[in-house]
Structure 1
Amino acid sequence: MNRRSFLTTVAAGTGTALTVSLAGCNALQSSALEDLDEVQPDRQLPVPTLGDGDVTVDVYEDLGCPACHQFQAEVFPVLAEEYIESDEISYRHYDFPVGAADESVGMANAARAVQSETHDGEDDPNGQFFGYKSAVIASDDWSDDALAELAGVVDVDPDVVSSALEDETYYPTIVADRERGEEAGVEGTPTVIVDGTIVDDPLDSDAVVSSIESA
């Protein structure tokens, strides 16, 4: 799957710019991911996961989405302190690029390149994914060159990211994440799903905590 077909799949037939609202970054209904059947299993990566609790908290994000940045700054720290560090939840990241930024797909691809370079299978499915993700969100330059240079922040050779961006290496993982999200009812970012139930307001930490406590 190349970049053109991926982006066509994401926004097929909309003809309308994606919008950012108080609720997050919203994608208009996309068509079925027809190219998913061609995904090569050996190019799939583990789901980046923090914590090892029985309650699952699945978060679908577009790394270029301002509301996702707000979630990262205001809600994630609460979950980390109260639930992740104590292994009360399993916090799982999924990519769901909706075109919030022109670089959204490239950012996700770059982060997965870092994960692929640094993860250690089931023993460490994340590698430096979350560290790199934080660096990307904090940056104000998401050009290919800048994304490559940011790899140095987590001690990864920038060429690893440059090659992945040029070859679109991790699109299969991104596409698979989008399909999972669509099957779960995800329509925009961020979307938080606690044990299979979508949280109405993902930017309200109290609402997310209440869903976790009720699970």
Structure 2
Amino acid sequence: MNRRSFLTVTAATGSVALAGCSALFGASLPDELDGVDSDPDQLPTPTVGSGTVSIDVYEDLACPSCQEFQAAVFPELEARLLEDDGATYRHHDFPLPADEERSIPMANAARAVQSASGTEDDPGEFFGYKRFAMDAGTPSDEELVEIADAETDVDPSVVENALEENTYYPTLAAGWVDADDRGVDRTPTVFVDDEEVEDPLDADEIITMVEDTV
């Protein structure tokens, strides 16, 4: 499976992107994570940049609005802030789930890539893999393995094994608890130095908040 084939399956996400993915009547822990011992130390928080201002983004990888954020907003932040270390960008998993069957496997697969390719201070190929997975909409387990094979240098068996064994569920459970404790109830939710961004799909608003905080 090649890059072009994955990029052609995203057309269905745009029409609902602005609505956001929210937890009606309050967020509840997904059934897949119920009973999982959360472990915030299993993997480090995936981070880009090293600026003094923090951008914390809570995402569900299967959420159409998060996919819009990934496609349209993140590249702007990367080009205008992160490449020059104008801010520190941190990804947080918050599977609501937007898709009952795909939200958690997608996040689990991305964390497997992080574990296989990154270090304590470097997320490795996490962000690249996450982008291709989200470009694909809600890929199946087989497709998540194929994305790793086609788009990363990670052995695809790493992703396959993580999907079979639910390897990074403790990380996802810890992320969910952190988001819930912070009052997050929809995705994407973006904070700039602990101040929530009103419109997370407005790159200019996020950049202005960062510049005003420096």
Category of TM-score, reference length = shorter chain: 0.7 to 0.9
Name the aligned partner's letter for residue 63 of structure 1: L
Corresponding residue SS for 1:75:
helix
Structure 1: any 5+ residue segments left out of the alignment?
1-19
1:118 matched to which residue of 2?
Answer: 117
1:30 Cα deviation (Å)? 2.9
Aligned CA distance change for structure 1 residues 39 and 75 (closer, same or farther; 3 Å): closer
Amino acid at match of 1:150: I
Deviations 1:130-180 (A, max 9, x none): 111011012256111111111111011111111101110101111111111
Between the aligned partners of 1:149 and 1:34, the Cα distance in structure 2 is: 28
2:61 to 60, 63, 86: 63
1:99 aligns with: 97
- Partners of 1:96 and 1:177 within 8 A in 2: yes
Task: Extract structure 1 runs of 4+ deviating beyond 2 A.
Answer: 20-23, 30-36, 38-42
Match of 1:149 in 2: 146
Q: 1:57 to 1:176 in 2, by over 3 A?
A: same
Matches within 5 A, 1:71-90: 71-90=69-88
Q: Distance in 2 between matches of 1:184 and 1:209?
A: 22
Cα distance change on mapping 1:71 and 1:141 into 2, 3 Å? closer
Q: Which amino acid is the alignment partner of residue 144 of structure 2?
A: L
Quote the residue 1:50 is aligned against. Answer: 48
**Which sections of structure 2, spanning at least 5 residues, go unmatched?**
1-15
Q: Distance in 1 between matches of 2:138 and 2:183?
A: 31
Number of residues of Structure 1 aligned to a counterpart in Structure 2? 192
CA contact (8 A) 1:49 1:93 kept: yes
Aligned to 2:127, the other structure's residue is in SS state helix
- The answer on whether the counterparts of 1:23 and 1:201 sit within 8 Å (CA) in structure 2 is no
CA distance in 2, matches of 1:88, 1:132: 24
TM-score (norm 1): 0.83
**What is the deviation of 1:199?**
0.5
CA distance in 2, matches of 1:160, 1:181: 27
Aligned position for 2:133:
136
* Cα shift at 1:34: 7.3
What displacement does 1:188 show? Answer: 0.6
CA shift for structure 1 position 208: 1.2
Q: RMSD value over aligned CA atoms? A: 1.9
CA distance in 1 between counterparts of 2:40 and 2:197 reads 31
- The answer as to whether partners of 1:60 and 1:192 remain within 8 angstroms in 2 is yes
Structure 2 CA distance for aligned equivalents of residues 67 and 39 of structure 1: 26
Aligned to 1:191: 189
Greater relative contact order structure (CA < 8 Å, 6+ sep)? 2
Q: In structure 1, give the amino acid aligned to 2:128.
A: G
CA distance in 2, matches of 1:39, 1:205: 32
Residue matched to 2:201: 203
For the residues of structure 2 that align with 1:93 and 1:108, how far apart are their CA atoms? Answer: 11
Amino acid at match of 1:163: N
Calculate the TM-score normalised by the size of structure 2.
0.83
Residue matched to 1:27: 23
